Amino acid sequence: MSVPTGNPIADRRSPQDAEGTLLRLSQITKEYRSDRGKVVRALHEVSLDVRQGEILAIIGASGCGKSTLLRIMAGLDTITSGQAEWSRRPTPGRDIGYVFQEPVLLPWRSVFRNACIAPETLKIPRQRYEPRVRELLGLVGLTDFADALPRELSGGMRQRTSIVRALAHDPMLLLMDEPFGALDQITREKLHDDLLNIWTATGKTIVFVTHSVDEATYLADRVVVLSPRPGRVRAIHDVPLPRPRDARTKLDPRFAEFQAMLRGEL
Amino acid sequence: MTVRTSAPEPAAPVAARPPAPVGTSRRGRLRLVVKPFVALLYVLVIVGVWGAYQAVADVPRYLLASPAEVGSQLLDLARTGTLWAHLGYTVRNIGVGFALGAVIGAVLGVAVSRSQIVDAMLSPFLVVFQAMPKIALAPMFVLWFGLGLTSQFVLIVSLSFFPILVGTATGLRQVNPAYRDLATIVGLNPVARLFRIDIRAASPSIFAAARVAAVDAMTGAVLAEWISSSRGLGYLLVEANSSYQVPMLMASIVVIVVVGLALYQLVSFVEARALQWRDPVTA
């Protein structure tokens, strides 16, 4: 599944060469006030590192604060106490790509124009990002739908559009909140491979939230297991599977072993 | 006000129909043919009943003119140019007044939806102002702003800004909260978010309000001319009324109704063009 060199979306940064820590979260606690005025603790003293160039999965039962954790990384939520240290602080709008649980497309914009919103906001010249966006749309099979409106698409196509949108401005960090949750199995597995291709080609740091043990195992370098109410880190595991990964990876006995171990912890 | 009640009718069947799936253009095309036909049929039936009643019941001339008389009166007014002068004046006032009212309403709508303080401060005033019949205020406007154009515009704006305000505020409050996260992620500042995302997302509600406001602006214009002008369709009404020229009175009413319908259709047309992304039926 390796992408040939010379791929137009390949980045200057070579993949997986930087081993440093991109983001260090120390003792992060997040509390919010519920509608009835009660203070709810969503995260309790969460500490973890996000390493440069890795794929990190955050897994846990619903209500364990995994989305909140991702939103904190994206700057969409503030922290109540604790510290978030970046080795290189991301510029809002430039360095982060975010895939929401729902596609959140603007219904008046075509697929292509939706995908272009981030580089357009950055005022990058069109000729510099449009070929890239077309390339990405091709990669997820949406070339023929570039001019379609969101209402003309299936749910899976909308979500694929939102993934392209998150990558369009070539962010260093891609954050994804259960991006494949609403998709059917076939589309999901295709997108898994697309994502791995993009990652191999660009060497981005990817953090994603999931409740699928299979997804976490197949995609990630490391898996963070959160336990619920309040969310805290139960364990952090290295995935003992070689890269590149493809259909055969799933036949590896270590694949099933690792999954079984994760299931035991959830 | 005849105009007010008859105006929303053309849109009713559209709104009642559930959104059709993409690609049922045959039905759409059929509707395009049928709709004007139905409208024409309506006019014919009304004119027919009116003419028949006029002939059979033998209503005195000073109470009700026949369709033929009204028609020839209209032709007369058109030929002498009287009609165009008054019509032009009124249409211009509606246009300017509506534009002013729309801008004021939109700005206030944004303020009310963005700031709880502004909302709390403005709401009581607005509720009282809206509950007050504007026709009762009209003499005060004349007193304060004189018999000229100013008081006419004040009346038009006072009628038309409110629906726009409510439509804008409601639409903005209903914008999908996830768009705010999207705006943060792509680095849009609040002003850019307002113009690039929120107003677009709120536009269905704003357009619905604009349809009402356009007709309100016409009511305001005619009312203002009725009270304080020597030009315009409202003035034509007064003149015809005070000199017992029933055909002219009725001809003015017909023109006003047509203007109201045209306005409503114009806004609907712009709306359908601007909101093509939204509803396959109106596209």
Q: Are A176 and A124 in contact (CB under 8 A)?
A: no
| Interchain contact, A100 vs B182, CB within 8 Å | yes
| CB of B182 less than 8 A from some CB of A | yes
Q: Are A53 and A16 in contact (CB under 8 A)?
A: yes
pLDDT at B19 > cutoff 80: no
Lowest mean pLDDT among A14-28, A231-245, B201-215, B251-265: A14-28
Q: Are A71 and A49 in contact (CB under 8 A)?
A: no
Task: Give the nearest chain A residue to B183 (CA atoms).
Answer: A93
The B residues from 199 to 218 touching A (CB cutoff 8 Å) are 200-201
| Interchain contact, B184 vs A75, CB within 8 Å | yes
pLDDT value at residue A19: 63
**Shortest CA gap B215–chain A (Å):** 27
Lowest mean pLDDT among A6-15, B16-25, B45-54: A6-15
| Interchain contact, B22 vs A75, CB within 8 Å | no
pLDDT value at residue A12: 35
Q: Are A41 and A230 in contact (CB under 8 A)?
A: yes
| CB of B9 less than 8 A from some CB of A | no
DSSP character for A92? T
| CB of A78 less than 8 A from some CB of B | no
| CB of B262 less than 8 A from some CB of A | no
Chain A contact probe: residue of B185, B195, B197 with most A CBs at under 10 A: B185
Closest CB from B185, B188, B277 relative to A149: B277
How far is residue B43's CA from residue B201's CA, in Å, rounded to a whole number?
A: 37
In order along its 266 residues, chain A shows pLDDT tens digits of 333 433 333 333 333 444 688 888 888 888 888 888 888 888 888 889 898 889 999 998 887 888 888 999 988 888 888 888 888 888 878 889 999 988 999 999 999 999 999 888 888 888 888 898 998 888 888 888 988 899 888 888 888 899 989 988 888 899 999 988 877 888 888 888 888 988 888 888 999 999 889 999 999 999 999 888 888 888 888 988 888 888 888 888 898 899 899 888 88
| Interchain contact, B185 vs A106, CB within 8 Å | no
What domains can you pick out in chain B, each with its CATH number? 2-274 (1.10.3720.10)
How far is residue A58's CA from residue A61's CA, in Å, rounded to a whole number?
A: 10
Chain B contact probe: residue of A100, A106, A133, A167 with most B CBs at under 10 A: A106
| CB of B22 less than 8 A from some CB of A | yes
pLDDT at B22 > cutoff 70: no
Q: Are B257 and B3 in contact (CB under 8 A)?
A: yes
Nearest Cα neighbor of B67 from B51, B83, B43 is B51
Chain B contact set for A151 (CB, 8 A)? 22, 277, 280
| CB of A106 less than 8 A from some CB of B | yes
| CB of A148 less than 8 A from some CB of B | no
| Interchain contact, B201 vs A106, CB within 8 Å | yes
The model's confidence at residue B26, banded by pLDDT at 50, 70 and 90, is: low
Q: How far is CA A206 from CA A83, A190, B231, in A?
A: 20, 18, 70
The A residues from 177 to 236 touching B (CB cutoff 8 Å) are none
3-state helix/strand/coil string of chain B: CHHHHHCCHHHHHHHHCCCCCCCCHHHHHHHHHHHHHHHHHHHHHHHHHHHHHHHHHCCCCCCCCCHHHHHHHHHHHHHHCHHHHHHHHHHHHHHHHHHHHHHHHHHHHHHHHHCHHHHHHHHHHHHHHHHCCHHHHHHHHHHHHCCCHHHHHHHHHHHHHHHHHHHHHHHHHCCCCHHHHHHHHHCCCHHHHHHHHHHHHHHHHHHHHHHHHHHHHHHHHHHHHHHHCCCCHHHHHHHHHHCCCHHHHHHHHHHHHHHHHHHHHHHHHHHHHHCCCCCCCCC
| Interchain contact, B186 vs A151, CB within 8 Å | no
Cis amide linkage into residue A230, ω under 30° from 0:
yes
| CB of B188 less than 8 A from some CB of A | yes
| Interchain contact, B179 vs A118, CB within 8 Å | no
DSSP character for A91? P
The A residues from 226 to 265 touching B (CB cutoff 8 Å) are none
The model's confidence at residue B40, banded by pLDDT at 50, 70 and 90, is: confident
Across residues B182-187, what is the average pLDDT?
90
Across residues B76-105, what is the average pLDDT?
91
Closest CB from A92, A94, A149 relative to B184: A92
Neighbours of A112 (CB within 10 A): 20
| Interchain contact, A102 vs B178, CB within 8 Å | yes
**Shortest CA gap B7–chain A (Å):** 28
How far is residue B271's CA from residue B14's CA, in Å, rounded to a whole number?
A: 13
Lowest mean pLDDT among A14-18, A201-205, B12-16, B206-210: B12-16
| Interchain contact, B278 vs A122, CB within 8 Å | no
| Interchain contact, A104 vs B182, CB within 8 Å | yes
- Highest mean pLDDT: which range of A8-17, A182-191, B85-94, B221-230: B85-94
Chain B contact set for A75 (CB, 8 A)? 184
Instruction: Tell me the three state secondary structure of residue A233.
Output: strand
pLDDT value at residue B1: 36
- The tokens for B188 are 């849009």
Nearest Cα neighbor of B190 from B172, B206, B207, B216 is B172
Task: Give the nearest chain B residue to A173 (CA atoms).
Answer: B185
Chain B contact set for A93 (CB, 8 A)? 185-188
Q: Are B131 and B158 in contact (CB under 8 A)?
A: no
